[in-house]
Amino acid sequence: MILRPTIDITKYQDSNGNYTESGRREMMADTAKDYEIFSERYSEDVLSHQKLLDKINSLLSERTDTAYAEICSICESYEYHKLSKIFTDFDRFLSAHIIYQTEKSAGIQGNIFSLIGSVDDYVSLKQMTFYLFRRIQMCFPEDETYAFFGNILNINPSFFYILQMLDESCTGNKFAVAEKLSHYYEKSGYKNEALLIKSFSEKKYEYIPINKQKIYHPDRSYNHPQKICFITCVNNSLMYDECCYYINKLLVPAGFEVETISISDASGMAEGYNMGQSKSGADINVFLHQDVCILNPFFIYEIADIFESDNAVGMIGLVGSPALPPDAVMWHDKRVGNLYSLSPDNLSYDYNPQKTVQAITSVEAIDGFLMISNKRIEWRDDIFDGFDFYDISQCTEYLKLGYKIVVSNQSSPWAAHDDGIMKLGLYNKYRLLYIDKYKS
């Protein structure tokens, strides 16, 4: 799969698709100008976001219809919609007022605003709900999925909330998810809610049976069993618990050992990964974000096979750039790989190694949401002390030492990344540091 660039790169390239010298200079100048404009506006947007956030949270604490009505007015304002394109919490809170107004019209007393104390509470509830939908589509054991449903039920959102979440999630198989939710409501003694959700889904969604996960036990043994460590910088326990849930579902080759290390006190990703790597005695380290869920049950087999097939491979990614563009913005040029992004949702995940083309693509850089290494090279936390360009810097360090960096050509995405809107406030600072360090 090729992920298309976000800008028209052809204006910087010749007819063969190569960057010209003048094109390189023009691209650098255009990107610098874009980030200069962005930086000028961003500081103002941060202040506006904090002011509106404080206002909404204050209104939520009042617990009155008048306050709730004012929240609706804020969410419908131009200023809020503009900020929702920049800040993840506002983007995810955007539909709360729609649910509230629907509940109010239906005469429901325990409305969505009365169940939360802050915007963050709503964002967490929404995240839990999306996790539930994914577990249903992945056909995980019903007792585990039903228990997770119970966590949401304890908060007691209305079925209007559930229906809104189904619409927002872009879930590929909404009918099947709604059918399972109806079953869970009935199982919990909420027969009216079960009937309403079932009736709604039958009218609105197309019936598509969920494909059961196909688990093939490969006839594969390894001469040198290895230890694999999953290292994550964590500041959100809900996300990390879900991340670990999927790690614990992975099939483990005979003789292999798996551990997880969480780092909660790092000032930046590179520092955190150095801390984790120093604690790990593993042969293979998987550096992944807390909002990544590994869907491929054969993930460990896959990466072990890649490393074993070529000793020169030092790092594996799931999305990467065959050639980093001159301005060092990865998504400004073509990328390779595969992934489910936010609201992951054209699943269920159906994996059959007999049909997978075992192939890799060499790249210059990989996206930092998941990076796998069988080498122990220090991350450059002396330069990249934040949350940007730590990944591309590490790739460049590997290439300087003569190691290959590859992306697996996945027939189905191996992972889902529940990323929000990128925080680009310091992105340009680290972009310029990277160019100064490696491209000057």
Q: What is the pLDDT along the chain (440 residues), one digit of tens a residue?
A: 566 678 899 999 999 989 999 999 999 999 999 988 888 888 899 999 999 999 999 999 999 999 999 999 999 999 999 999 999 999 999 999 999 999 999 998 889 999 999 999 999 999 999 999 999 988 899 999 999 999 999 999 999 999 999 988 876 688 889 999 999 999 999 999 999 999 988 888 887 766 665 666 667 778 777 999 999 999 999 999 999 999 999 999 989 999 999 999 999 999 999 999 999 999 999 999 999 999 999 999 999 999 999 999 999 999 999 999 999 999 999 999 988 875 544 554 555 555 555 589 999 999 999 999 999 999 999 999 999 999 999 999 999 999 999 999 888 889 999 887 777 788 999 999 999 999 86
* Same domain for 371 and 293: yes
pLDDT at 358: 56
Kindly report the number of other CB atoms within 10 A of residue 258's CB atom: 17
Burial per residue of 112-137, b for 16 or more beta-carbon CB atoms within 10 angstroms, e otherwise = bbeebebbeebbbbbbbbbbbbbbbb
274 within some domain:
yes
pLDDT at 345: 47
- Residues 68 and 100: beta-carbon distance below 8 Å: yes
- Structural domain ending residue among the three candidates 147, 172, 204: 204
214 within some domain:
no
Question: Quick one: how far is CA 112 from the chain centroid?
Answer: 25
* Same domain for 361 and 241: yes
Query: How much is the pTM?
Result: 0.92
113 within some domain:
no
Q: Report the SS3 class of residue 13.
A: strand
* Same domain for 426 and 326: yes
**How far is Cα 55 from Cα 58, in angstroms, rounded to an integer?**
5
**CA-to-CA separations, 147 to 135, 151, 153, 184, 187, in angstroms, rounded:** 11, 7, 10, 10, 12
16 within some domain:
no
404 within some domain:
yes
* Same domain for 249 and 370: yes
Domain that holds residue 159: 119-204
* Same domain for 395 and 247: yes
pLDDT at 212: 61
Sign of the CA dihedral running 294, 269, 280, 225: positive
167 within some domain:
yes
5 within some domain:
no
The pair of structure tokens assigned to 270 is 């590179």
8 within some domain:
no
Select from 36, 9, 35 the least CA-distant residue to 23.
Answer: 9
Q: Could you give the number of structural domains in the chain? A: 3
pLDDT at 173: 81
Bridge-based pairing state of the strands 404-408 and 335-337: unpaired
- Structural domain ending residue among the three candidates 147, 169, 204: 204
- Residues 8 and 26: beta-carbon distance below 8 Å: no
CATH number of the domain residue 267 falls in: 3.90.550.10
